[in-house]
Every structure is written in C-alpha cells, then in structure tokens.
Amino acid sequence: MRKPGLTTATAIASRDETEAQQVKGRWGRWAAVSFASVAVAAGCSFPPSPVRAVAVTDKAGAISGIPGTLAAGQYTFSLSNATGGLQLVRLTPGYTQAQLLSDVGAVFGPPSPGAKAAAERLYAKAHFVGGANGATRFSAYLIPGSYVAVDPNGPGGRPEAFRVTPRGVRQNFPAADVAFGGSMLMSGGHESFAWQVIGNLKASGGTLRFTTLNGDEPHFLVLAKLKAGHTAQQCFSFEGNGANPNCDEVLSTGVLSTNETMTMPYTLKGPGTYAIACFVTNPETGQPHAALGMVRVLPPVR
C-alpha cells in the first residue's frame, strides 16, 4: 500500500526515538518471545528449501500470471514492473472483492469521514499475507481460502482473484540474515507500536524476514537510507512531491496481518545509516503507525 503523508512533521519528532525502540509491558514481553521463536537469531538462519515460483505480470495495475487455483504452501512471487507492486489478500467469507477495494481506497486514500469504519472493517475482514513494490520478488505462505491479488500502486487496474486449496506441502522460508517484527503495545488503555529486530543488514545485501507479531492491525515495512545530517523523523515525515531530500527509499514490503510472515531480498545503497517505518493507519487516532512509535534507526552498515 502507498504510505500516506503524515499530518504533521512533529507527529514523529515529538516522540523520543530511543523510547520508540524499546518494547515494554506485557504485550511487549509476549511479542519478544513469539518473535524469538520464529525469527532468525544473529548468526543463525532457517535452512532454505525449494519453493514454487509464480511470475506475475502487472500492466497499468492489471495483475495476471497467478493461476486460478494453487495448492496450499509457500510460493515465491516475482514482479517485473518497476513502478508497480503486488499485495496478496485472503478474504473472510462474505467479504467481497468490491468491498475490499472500497475499504482500501478509504483507508489508504485521501482522508474521508468513513475512514475509521473502513479501517476497522478492513483489518477484521481482510487478511494481508504479503507483497512488495517494484521489480523484485517475495515469498509468502498461503493457506486455503479465497484470495485477491492487487497492485497497490496501480491506477485502479484489474485485480486477480484466485483460490488456494488444502492439498499442499509445508515448506520452510528461504534463509534470512535479518528479521523485523511489528508489534502492538498497550499502556493505560492506549495503543502504541514498535519494531523488534534480530540480526543486522549486510552491506553486500541479503534476505530479510518480516512478521506481524500481535494485535489487530497489520503492518508494512519501509526501509530507507538516511542522508548525511538527516534524521529518521525528517525522512519519514517528508510530505513534499519529488525526491525525499532526507533519505533514499530502499524497499517497501506489502502489508502483513498478525501471525503472517514473508521474506524478500534486499540490496542496500552502500554503507551508512538505515531506518525502518510503518505507515498503516491506526483507526482510533487516524495517525500512521510511524507517528505512534513505529520508527527505528538500525545499526550503521559499514
């Protein structure tokens, strides 16, 4: 999904960046244990295994190339359109493709009076299972159900519907050298959000793993390289047109609902400082998760 602009550049800057990097409270402890059980520990990785490949064609937002029926299991989706993207969504029974597209437009489009209700319905009825933007590839695990594949960057093109059947073989995800987990924290009845990270980015590039750990709101990950003398707050609160003067975006994943995991390759833009953020909208506040703690500066890459 496209990341919406922040309503104010001070929405992030008003938060202590070090506090945003900490995981606190009962929810945080639960998420940390869950993350450790599925993520890649430093110096360790899950073994790679063969995966089934799907080459996706995206022309002006019209998705094609995904078979009408797939067996449950892990797939690697390859994208060739540098300006397009792919988001996979599993629909709950009774929730239609038309309702999905309408709710996505209300939540990720310009502010509207029905955005809160649309976000609550979208997060409850649509299960986001991964995706990516640009010419890249990603791996996701599909369980049985009805799915829609859509280009989140397209001009309202043609989504593609497909079904996943129960007959499949469980497989491991590709090996990864760094894992990112998005978590929700509760304090005094208020929600905030944080990133957890295991491992480090490699200057030579590699594979990252992304998981949404808990809560009822999905997440996506934007990775950017900060320009010299600029902060993560400046990077992720930029609202102007054209190139961001504060950072260079490296990649943007698709959206993931709770307990979903995806992997994708990354290629860095040389040594330096990198940061991550999530811009999914919180229905209660109308603010992006980045303004509620979901910004983190990573260790320098040398």
pLDDT in tens, 78-137: 998 888 899 999 999 999 999 999 998 888 877 788 899 999 999 999 999 999 999 999
- Lowest-pLDDT range of 209-213, 245-249, 283-287: 283-287
Q: Alpha-carbon distance 273 to 227, whole Å?
A: 8
Instruction: Decide: 207 and 235 in contact? Cβ < 8 Å.
Output: no
**Average pLDDT of the chain?**
83
Asked whether residue 266 carries a pLDDT value surpassing 60, the answer given is yes
Asked whether residue 34 carries a pLDDT value surpassing 60, the answer given is no
Say yes or no: do domains 10-45+174-297 and 52-169 share a fold: yes
Regarding predicted confidence, which is higher, 123 or 6?
A: 123
Q: Alpha-carbon distance 131 to 268, whole Å?
A: 19
For the chain, give the percent of residues with pLDDT over 90: 63
Q: Tell the residue number behind the tokens 């949404």, with chain if given.
A: 212
* Domain residue limits, the chain: 10-45+174-297, 52-169
Q: Alpha-carbon distance 196 to 192, whole Å?
A: 13
Regarding predicted confidence, which is higher, 139 or 62?
A: 139
pLDDT at residue 170 in the model? 64
pLDDT at residue 134 in the model? 92
Asked whether residue 4 carries a pLDDT value surpassing 80, the answer given is no
What CATH number does the domain located at 10-45+174-297 have?
2.60.40
Spell out the residues 6+ positions from residue 119 whose beta carbon is closer than 8 angstroms to its own: 103, 106, 107, 281, 283
Instruction: Decide: 88 and 76 in contact? Cβ < 8 Å.
Output: no
Please give the C-alpha separations between residue 45 and each of 36, 39, 40, 251, in angstroms, as whole numbers.
Answer: 12, 8, 5, 22
Instruction: Decide: 118 and 102 in contact? Cβ < 8 Å.
Output: yes
- Lowest-pLDDT range of 21-30, 171-180, 213-222: 21-30
Asked whether residue 153 carries a pLDDT value surpassing 90, the answer given is no
Beta strands at 206-212 and 178-187: parallel, antiparallel or unpaired: parallel
Kindly write down the DSSP assignment for every residue of 30-58, as one continuous string: HHHHHHHHHSPPTT--PPP---EEEEEEE
Confidence class of residue 232 from pLDDT cuts 50, 70 and 90?
Answer: very high
Regarding predicted confidence, which is higher, 21 or 239?
A: 239
Q: Alpha-carbon distance 223 to 220, whole Å?
A: 10
pLDDT at residue 60 in the model? 78
Centre a 10 Å sphere on the Cβ of residue 36 and count the other Cβ atoms it contains.
Answer: 13
Asked whether residue 19 carries a pLDDT value surpassing 90, the answer given is no
Q: Which CATH number among 2.60.40, 3.90.660, 1.10.3470, 3.40.50 corresponds to the domain 52-169? A: 2.60.40
pLDDT at residue 162 in the model? 97
- Residue 95 sits at φ, ψ, to 5 deg, of -100, 120
Confidence class of residue 62 from pLDDT cuts 50, 70 and 90?
Answer: confident
Mean pLDDT computed over 147-165: 85
